[in-house]
Amino acid sequence: MEIEGTDGSWLILDLNGGSVHGVEVAVWPEVRKRSALVPPNEVTEGRIMVGGNDNGIASIEMNTALAAEADDAEQTIHFRLGAMRQTKTVRIARDILIDVDGRDRIAGVWLLGVPPFPEAQ
């Protein structure tokens, strides 16, 4: 599933049988730094299904506002999709959280424990 921001940034959610199994940042959006960015305290363990149980979906593309914010060390990164709204957060992997709004739409993606970027040579 490709999520394209209005600024040309892209996130790709890897699906397997409709379930989100991974996140790829294809084109990095402008990142706003926050000195204290912490994921939500209340997190549910689970999985995120896209398109119900229909495994015939080959790809989904969504165009939306995509904003990124990171802590000073850039080890915690939060991507927000669309307008800010009330969400619940689901852990789909040790270091990947997905925000879901009240209408069961993906509203954000958290990447935790991000390793440092390689130094330019």
Assigned domain for 92 exists? yes
Q: Which domain holds residue 102?
A: 2-52+61-111
pTM higher than 0.95:
no
Q: Tell me if 7 is assigned to some domain.
A: yes
pLDDT in tens, the chain (121 residues): 888 877 777 888 888 887 888 888 866 767 888 888 999 999 999 888 876 555 565 566 666 788 888 899 889 999 998 888 999 999 999 999 999 999 988 999 999 998 887 765 5
Q: Is residue 120 part of a domain?
A: no
User: How many whole angstroms separate alpha carbon 109 and alpha carbon 47?
Assistant: 13
Q: Which two tokens stand for residue 92?
A: 């789909």
